[in-house]
Amino acid sequence: MDLNQYIRCVPDFPQKGVLFRDITPLLAEHSAYQYAISELVKLVAHEKIDRIAAIESRGFLFGAPIAVACGVGIALIRKKGKLPYATVTKSYELEYGENTLELHSDALIAGERILIVDDVLATGGTAQAAGELVRMLGGEVVGNTFLIELMALNGRERLNTEPVYSLLQY
């Protein structure tokens, strides 16, 4: 299946000069969404994973079904102020400004092997911050998985030596 036909390009969003890759058509088409999940699971099937760490909010849409398919739990990485319990926090810069991510302080067990999941890898700032949160709690990041990787932005370079798995590259 050619998933590219389900990715809509929106020019000048969220600001002039940016070509936004909209995944909502893929999510709306059951067969495309299901195929994307199964292909993402195949990309990471060789990794020993104890838990998925999914990044708010579109990362949840891919992280949860990958976690179910892999038979592991999921930890939610959210924007500041969205989690109700004690958290670890990491601020970082992104392509349009600054952001802060949080993870519950009991979201994983030290030594667990964690796969980070999000929808798009752009500059890598968000995934890098997510990895730092995981490491703050003693987790080992075994890889970063994305539906889409925007190659021109070189995001994988910020992700240390961790493997990067992406289904679609633009």
Instruction: Please list the active-site residues.
Output: 58, 95
Report yes or no: 47 and 72 within 8 Å, Cβ to Cβ.
no
> What residue type is assigned to position 167 of the chain?
L
* Cα–Cα distance, 85 to 93 (Å, whole number): 25
Token pair listed for 45: 């099937």
Token pair listed for 72: 């592991």
In angstroms, what CA-CA distances link 98 with 9, 101, 126? 24, 10, 10
- H or E element at residue 13: none
* Cα–Cα distance, 14 to 11 (Å, whole number): 9
DSSP assignment of 136-149: HTT-EEEEEEEEEE
